[in-house]
Amino acid sequence: MRRACAAVCGAVLLLFSALPGRAADAPPTIVVHAGKADSLSHALAVQFAEALAQGNNALTVQVEESQGSVQNIMDALHRGDHYVFTTPPNLISQAKRGEKPFRRDARYRRIRALFPVPPLTLHWVVRADSGIKDLAGLAGKSLAPGGKGSFAERQTVSALHALGLEQRVQLIDIDPAGARAALAGHQVAGLALAGTVPLPALGDLAKTTPIHLLGLTHAERAKVLAADDSLVAQAIPAGTYPGQEAAVATVALPTGVYTTTVMSDATAYAITKAFWSQKWALGQHNPPWSLVTPAALAELGVKLHRGALRYYREAGIKVPAALR
């Protein structure tokens, strides 16, 4: 944690050196809330801050641990003008509607988007020699759906239900690390994993155990998406994992970086510009970022901050009407 904080504590002068009327020796501190220290969202936030720090030794971005996306959104009601947080957009929609665990509060309508981050992508995996070609092929067989209560488990159960397979596939409760060993040892027919593409653990497994990723047909994916409006269509590009010769159609949970209208236009502009100017370098060191493109703006779910919108217009990036 000390090393991560040291790397991050420099990150924002780059963001704010261009802000008008701000002394170079007193940049504001941007506070990023992004989940627990061992979570994927926290790791992505640290990567983003470290990427901004490249070539600049006077940063002021602070990545703070939080209890997760729900807390991040709740905190947006009372944090100051330099508060940034990560969350899936569906939770923002819940907050605006006042659905549990949120209470109805008009201030949630002040939340604005800045840019997307790598989504949680669902992987359904079998051995290459299993003969299983699709989810229907798991009928009568065992599947480790992911850790109890995890995104992988919840969405696997939802997908099997949407496809009428919930009574035909035997779900085995094994932790993800044990599930990979069980697949390699023929103890389960398949497993579900979720994370940013590529998943290092899956790449390591594929080096010793030839694997096959199960994809969804267009009709199947439509059913899965209809069953859960928090998901989006996603493709795992060909060649992502050893032996994967074709792209695989699946689903994912989009995630973005947000702030509120309390943040100044100049600050939101500087953050957004800094992100996109560093994204190529970020992707060179952290492959999941390479798959983040302006096309993912459509998945952010709420309007862009005016400062962010100014950057996209200047950069010639097409913004969906719903986000303007």
Domain ranges of the chain: 2-117+255-323, 120-253
Residue 218 Cα distances to 40, 109, 215, 224, angstroms: 29, 34, 10, 10
Whether 112 and 268 have beta carbons less than 8 Å apart is answered as: yes
Q: What is the pLDDT of residue 54?
A: 58
Q: What is the pLDDT of residue 49?
A: 76
Could you read off the pLDDT of 251-264 as tens digits, one per residue?
999 999 999 999 99
Q: What is the pLDDT of residue 301?
A: 94
If pLDDT is split at 50, 70 and 90, which confidence band does 51 have?
Answer: low
Q: What is the pLDDT of residue 52?
A: 58
Q: What is the pLDDT of residue 73?
A: 97
Please tell me whether the peptide bond between 198 and the residue prior to it is cis, using omega within 30 degrees of 0. Answer: yes
Q: What is the pLDDT of residue 50?
A: 75
Could you read off the pLDDT of 194-206 as tens digits, one per residue?
999 999 999 999 9
Is 70 exceeded by the pLDDT of residue 105?
A: yes
142-158 residues labelled b (16+ CB within 10 A) or e (exposed): bbbbbbeebbbbbbbbb
**CATH architecture label of 2-117+255-323:** 3-Layer(aba) Sandwich (3.40)
Q: What is the pLDDT of residue 245?
A: 93
- Judge: domain 120-253, CATH 1.10.30.50: no
Q: What is the mean pLDDT of residues 244-272?
A: 94
Q: What is the pLDDT of residue 27?
A: 56
pTM of the model: 0.88
> What is the rounded average pLDDT for all residues in the chain?
88
Q: What is the mean pLDDT of residues 293-301?
A: 96
Which residues touch 213 (CB under 8 Å, ≥6 apart)?
Answer: 123, 124, 125, 236, 241, 244, 248, 250
DSSP state of 304: B
If pLDDT is split at 50, 70 and 90, which confidence band does 162 have?
Answer: very high
Higher local confidence (pLDDT), 94 or 3? 94
Q: What is the mean pLDDT of residues 157-164?
A: 97
Could you read off the pLDDT of 55-102 as tens digits, one per residue?
334 447 789 999 999 999 999 999 988 899 999 999 999 999 999 999
Q: Which of 169, 171, 198, 197 is nearest to 182 (CA)?
A: 171
Query: Letter for the amino acid at 289?
Result: W
248: alpha, beta or left? (left if phi > 0; alpha if psi -120 to 50) = beta
Q: What is the pLDDT of residue 30?
A: 84
Q: What is the mean pLDDT of residues 314-320?
A: 96
If pLDDT is split at 50, 70 and 90, which confidence band does 7 have?
Answer: very low
Q: What is the pLDDT of residue 176?
A: 83
